[in-house]
Amino acid sequence: MDRNQIIGIVLITVVMLAWMYYMAPTPEEMERIERQRALQDSLAAIERIDGFEADPRDPEALIRPGREQEPRGAFANTAIADTLIKTVETPFFIIDFTNLGGGPAQVTLQNHVRYDQENVRLIADSLRSAYNIGFLSTENYNIDTQNLLFTPRSTQRNMSVATGETATIAYDLILEDNRTLTLEYIIGGDSYEIGLNIYFDGIQQLISGSYFEFGWQPRLLTTERSLSQESMYSAAYVFAGGTLDDLQLTSAGTDRRTLTGNVQWVSTKTKFFTQIIKPAGETDGVILLADVSGADETELSHYRSILRMMVPDNEVSSFNLFIGPLDHIHLNRFDENAYNMVDTGFRFLRWFSDPFVKWVVLPFFTFFGGILPNMGLVIILFALVVKIVLYPLTKKSFESMAAMRELQPEMKAIQEKYKDNPQQQQQATMKLFKKAKVNPLGGCLPNLLQAPVLITLWRYFQNSIEIRQEGFLWAQDLSAPDPILNLPFSIPFLGDYISGFVLLMSLSMVVQMRISGAGAASNPQMKIFQYILPVVLFFFFNQFASGLSLYYLIYNTLSIGQQMLINKQIDHVKMMETVDKKKAKQMAREQKIEERKKLKEARNKADS
């Protein structure tokens, strides 16, 4: 090896060492990489969850999520199966606590019922806690508290918490060396909220990296008759940095989403009910998991939301928990952004729909719902108020359509005259519009301005718990369809029944379009459209909430009355214009006669 080769090797080595030193991660980057790696390990462990699910409509269905690996090492002696149940009753819910996992195994709501009139039960795992603390032990074992037997501090089996009172339930996981993991629940009699303090007394030294996961594991039970509707509105959510993000599957499959950094709260929900976990301290990230199985009308949705965080220096982690309905009053007390989980409109329209629902719809239904005896009457009153507020726009729209209807004969004459010259036909038509002072878009623009209100209400009424289980006339539940005729077969999109309010709504649309349709009499295509659109909407709305159909039925009926009134006013104005013209002609004729008489008299005087 000559001198040049030696120099080359030395230079290459120096360059490589310099490059390795320059590219080496900083201590902060190394910590971030380790945290990301630990998060991926957590995901891999969570995906090993296995369980058994029975009939989803059965509130006794058993859901037993948990890792297959039995606890080992320092936690081995706690893996036994001697469970004790403690029942706590408040004015809002009945909770069955279990010492297997040290937490709630069943939650039954006092003031809400299922479609079959049984009380709503959100979880039904009678064996283990719905909340799980998971971590990797320093002995390299996956530990899940759902598999560990805690010791209750109180032997009292039944507790009652009245309004204005609070009760504390505590469970201890005591290891051989007196290290203790304590779960302390604070339950009040005034809300659906539960406080939770987790005390890691010496346990932190047994947790690898001091990172642990805390989350809700079981599937929220279905409460409505239609499983497909439940699946459509079920999802997992995370609120972080002022933004609400969700994980939702629209078809059978599995999915997961991870987010690093601090989050304000995480949740899972069905159409009308939810559970929320709100940490008091900072988090390291969140894991959202989705599993949708089944097909057609039997889809089952299982969403999980899991927080990842570090054990604090004082070895105490606190959480505020919510288990209950998607009710604005209680959710707003829990967190001002929690009600954003309720679907009030399409994403591109949330800038309008969210404040409209929050500041207009909800206060209206809350106030008048406490005055009127029925929510159906509140919907009717609300439709009347909306119609009055939008009257200037609808009046302009109806007047424009009526004016267009009056111009139909002249427009038809122009079409006949210039049928071979489309450009000249268009120019003559626009000249006619200008002469008559008619805006051809006048009937469309007001309706376009009303669209955000109507779309918001269309979305909101389908998942508003304010009208859930509220009956009106033949409808037993305004948040569900109102079948009046069951069919012996199923029709695509329509289903196997016909809803009453949808049928009336469609008929009202036919009447409305016949009254307000410009040019329908002379345009066969418009005449057909009068019947096609109501039929399409009949199929589209048949499986929607009956409260939504009731609202549109009243709205259309009021529109018919408005259109008839405006048409009458227009006809009266036209009649008066005709009378005025006749009077003007008569006055002109009389004036000419008078002028001729005076002229004749003047000539007679001149001749004499």
Burial of 47 per CB tally in 10 Å (0-12, 13-18, 19+): exposed
Q: Is the pLDDT score of 292 beyond 50?
A: yes
Span 524-533, average pLDDT: 66
Type of residue found at 158: N
* pLDDT value of position 200: 92
Q: Give pTM, 2 decimals.
A: 0.73
Type of residue found at 101: G
Confidence of residue 210 (pLDDT cuts 50, 70, 90): confident
* Pairing, β 285-293 against β 300-310: antiparallel
Rounded to whole angstroms, the Cα distance separating 194 from 130 reads 13
* pLDDT value of position 455: 81
* pLDDT value of position 8: 56
Q: Is the pLDDT score of 484 beyond 80?
A: yes
Question: What are the φ and ψ backbone dihedral angles of 205, each rounded to 5 degrees?
Answer: -70, -15
Contacts of 285 (CB under 8 A, 6+ apart): 35, 39, 258, 259, 260, 261, 263, 307, 308
Task: Show the tokens assigned to 251.
Answer: 């078809």
Structural domains in the chain plus CATH codes: 28-335 (2.70.98.90), 359-567 (no CATH)
| 441 vs 400, more confident | 400
Greatest alpha-carbon span in the chain:
152
Q: What is the pLDDT of residues 77-92, one digit of tens each?
A: 555 456 678 888 999 9
Helix (H) or strand (E) holding 32: helix 27-46
Helix (H) or strand (E) holding 236: strand 235-240
Q: What is the pLDDT of residues 427-452, one digit of tens each?
A: 777 776 666 666 655 555 556 666 78
